[in-house]
Each structure stands twice: as C-alpha cells, then as structure tokens.
Amino acid sequence: MHEDIQEVLFSEEEIAARVAEIGAQITNDYADAVAQDGRGVILISVLRGAAIFMADLARQIELPLEMDYMAVSSYGNGAKSSGVVRILKDLSSEIEGRHVIVAEDILDSGLTLKYLMKNLASRKPASIEVATLLRKKTLQQAKIDCRYIGFECPDQFIVGYGLDFAERYRNLPYIGILKPEVY
C-alpha cells in the first residue's frame, strides 16, 4: 500500500496533535452548554471514512458525549463525487434539542455534507456544527460552515486515516496523496 502513495501530507504524529487540539476546543466550546443541560454532545460519524477520526476525537473531548453513525454515499467506487446522495444507514439516536457535532473525514465537493446538514437540521437539534479532518481547496466546493477544521489540503486524491479509494488504504496511519496511476 505504501508504494501507492505519491507523498505523505500529514504524519501520524501531526494528525494526533491536531485531533487533540480540536478535542480541547470542543471541550471548551461546549462546557457551559453541557453544564446547563447535563446531556452532553452527540458526535455523528459519517461512515466509513470518518470513523477513525471520530474515535480519536471522542477520546480527546473531556465532556459527556454520545456517538452515533450514519452511512451516506455519493462516490461509489469512483474518484469523483457522483452528486447523488443516499442515506444507507440512519441515526439510532434522537437529536432534537441536542448539541450535534458531525465528524467528517474530508470536505471535498461539499455535496454530501450539504445534504446531510440540511437533513439533520430538519430534526431540530439545539445546535449543529461540523468537525472535518480535512478541507480541500477547490473552487466549486459547496458553501459549508465548518467550525472545526483539522487541515487544509490540496485538491488531490487523498487516502489514509480512514479515507479510501475503492475501500482500500483506510488503515494507513498517515494521510497521503494517491499516485494517479493507481486510480
């Protein structure tokens, strides 16, 4: 797998340090709200890519929290978003009146996340924010307000730390650019 990587963008150590910073920021930002309602926040992972990020992030948040998962697809096995969003697995938890943080692996076109945010907002949470590990620099990206951003990254095909190409490379401990000849 490593030989398919053109360049490592973010090392395992850099990712761990940034996730810890985001966790501390979330802890600080939500401490008063959690003290008032006592229920904590709900982290929602967009499966499968964000599962590793959310697990690491959850361990860095020093507040009561719940974790839930959604599976949303707009890629299939291709390298570009298809633009068609499907919910493959919905939440198990009720989010009405709750503070929700969506843990996303990468904000690329933004089409999937825009759809997801609209869907979740219709369920009337107290608040809803996005924590994305990566945000690509693209001109055609949908306008998405991300309160927590791990790293800005180039508009390249990125894999590792949960991100995949055709379900491969998720288990790499770093984030790298996949060689074009691979996809």
> In terms of DSSP bridges, do strands 99-107 and 127-136 run parallel, antiparallel, or are they unpaired?
parallel
- Return d(Cα 57, Cα 150) in angstroms, integer: 11
Burial of 18 (0-12, 13-18, 19+ CB in 10 A): middle
- Considering just the CA atoms, what is the radius of gyration of the chain in Å? 16
Tell me which of 4, 32, 90, 108 is the catalytic residue. 108
- Return d(Cα 43, Cα 129) in angstroms, integer: 10
The residue type at 99: H
Residue 68 a catalytic site member: no
Q: Locate tokens 């860095």: which residue?
A: 60
**Sheet containing strand 86-89, strands side by side:** 86-89, 65-73, 41-47, 99-107, 127-136, 148-153
- Residues marked active site are found at 108
